[in-house]
Amino acid sequence: MNGDDLTYLHRYFKSLTTLDLTGVVLHGGTFLCSKHKNFYDYADNELAGHTLHIGALREVVLPESIENVVVSSFADIDFGECSDRSEFTRMSGAFGGTLESITVPAGNKHYSSYNGMLFDKSLTTLLKCPLAHPSEVLFPPTLKAINANAFRECSKITEITIPEGVTVVGEKAFYECDSLRSLSFPSTIATIDDDAFAHSYNLTTLACAATKPIAININRSSSVEKCTLKVKADCEKDYAAAPYWSEFRRIVTL
């Protein structure tokens, strides 16, 4: 498959919902994204920004040959005729706003999938949850880290419980998750990067099982005024005195 093939898919398959790329080899080139009216360059065996902004894709099976997937990045986007927010998302990764599920063949040397989400090969780092992933989120027991922007702008997810063993949550990992009501961090969490859950305005319960408050920096607005913070017994005073955590008006025990 080359750039002309990708352009053809973008232009003529506007109702496409499922795309199985098993066995496909993607040769580097340039394609025209019909949704954003721009040309995009990509390398051999790469899913660059906007590669799969095709039709109304809900399910995609990636090629075994894929070596690089652009999961989160920013780019200048000509919004053109786009009217649905999911189609002019600020994220310009390979996956479009209607995608619900990503599957990676077992033979791929770089990536894996689990519960319709994209992971590194060892299933230790969650790279990307598709924007239209259904509400229920399941994690593999091997998980150690959640990538920056991993759940950013996921519109259907209402509750996320990060499992024990996870130590790192990346920048803006849960940014602008419109339906997210409950978010729980495990006792093993050591790093929560900037704006991890900023702009998720419907968040009403945030739980953190870490015995000591994690240093956290929320530069953008969040819903701390209406959000209940749940912490372990005897940790309430520490959280009430810690930067950012002290902004929660209601702190209770788990």
Q: Are residues 128 and 202 in the same domain?
A: no
pLDDT at 180: 96
pLDDT at 80: 43
Q: How far apart are CA 137 and CA 117, in angstroms?
A: 9
pLDDT at 34: 86
Q: Are residues 26 and 70 in the same domain?
A: yes
Q: Model confidence over 113-167: pLDDT tens digits?
A: 999 999 999 999 999 999 999 999 999 999 999 999 999 999 999 999 999 999 9
Last residue of a domain, one of 76, 105, 133: 133
Q: How confident is the model at residue 99 (pLDDT cuts 50, 70, 90)?
A: very high
Mean pLDDT of the chain: 90
Q: Are residues 110 and 4 in the same domain?
A: yes
List the strands of the sheet with 145-146, edge to edge.
111-114, 117-120, 125-128, 145-146, 168-169, 191-192
Neighbours of 145 (CB within 10 A): 19
Q: Are residues 18 and 125 in the same domain?
A: yes
Joined tokens for residue 61: 């099976």
pLDDT at 144: 98
Q: Model confidence over 7-35: pLDDT tens digits?
A: 999 999 999 999 999 999 999 999 999 88
Identify the CA nearest to 195 among candidates 223, 226, 216. 216
Q: Are residues 199 and 100 in the same domain?
A: no
Q: Which of 4-13, 174-183, 189-198, 219-228 shows the lowest per-residue confidence on average (mean pLDDT)?
A: 219-228
Q: Where are the alpha helices (DSSP H) in 26-161?
A: none
Last residue of a domain, one of 72, 98, 133: 133
Instruction: Give me the count of residues in the chain.
Output: 254
Q: Are residues 91 and 181 in the same domain?
A: no
State which amino acid sits at residue 188. T
Q: Are residues 170 and 125 in the same domain?
A: no
Identify the CA nearest to 1 among candidates 56, 39, 42. 42
Q: How far apart are CA 94 and CA 30, in angstroms?
A: 14
Which residues share a beta bridge with 205? 182, 228
State which amino acid sits at residue 49. G
Identify the CA nearest to 148 among candidates 195, 181, 97. 195
Number of domains present in the structure of the chain: 2
- Look up the pTM and report it: 0.92
Q: Are residues 122 and 138 in the same domain?
A: no
Q: What average pLDDT score do residues 208-223 get? A: 87
Q: What average pLDDT score do residues 187-211 get? A: 95
**Domain CATH number, residue 172:** 3.80.10.10
Q: Are residues 60 and 76 in the same domain?
A: yes
pLDDT at 92: 67
Q: Are residues 128 and 62 in the same domain?
A: yes
Last residue of a domain, one of 133, 163, 181: 133
List the strands of the sheet with 228-231, edge to edge.
159-161, 182-185, 205-208, 228-231, 250-253
pLDDT at 134: 94
Q: How far apart are CA 37 and CA 44, in angstroms?
A: 22
Q: Are residues 87 and 173 in the same domain?
A: no
Residue 206 pLDDT more than 90? yes
Q: Where are the alpha helices (DSSP H) in the chain?
A: 3-12, 236-241
Residue 45 and residue 70 in contact, taking contact as beta carbons nearer than 8 Å: no
Identify the CA nearest to 248 among candidates 212, 214, 204. 204
Q: Model confidence over 40-98: pLDDT tens digits?
A: 999 999 999 899 999 999 999 999 999 999 987 554 334 444 444 444 445 568 998 89
Q: Are residues 155 and 122 in the same domain?
A: no
Residue 92 and residue 75 in contact, taking contact as beta carbons nearer than 8 Å: yes
Q: How confident is the model at residue 222 (pLDDT cuts 50, 70, 90)?
A: confident
Q: Provide the domain limits for residue 22.
A: 1-133
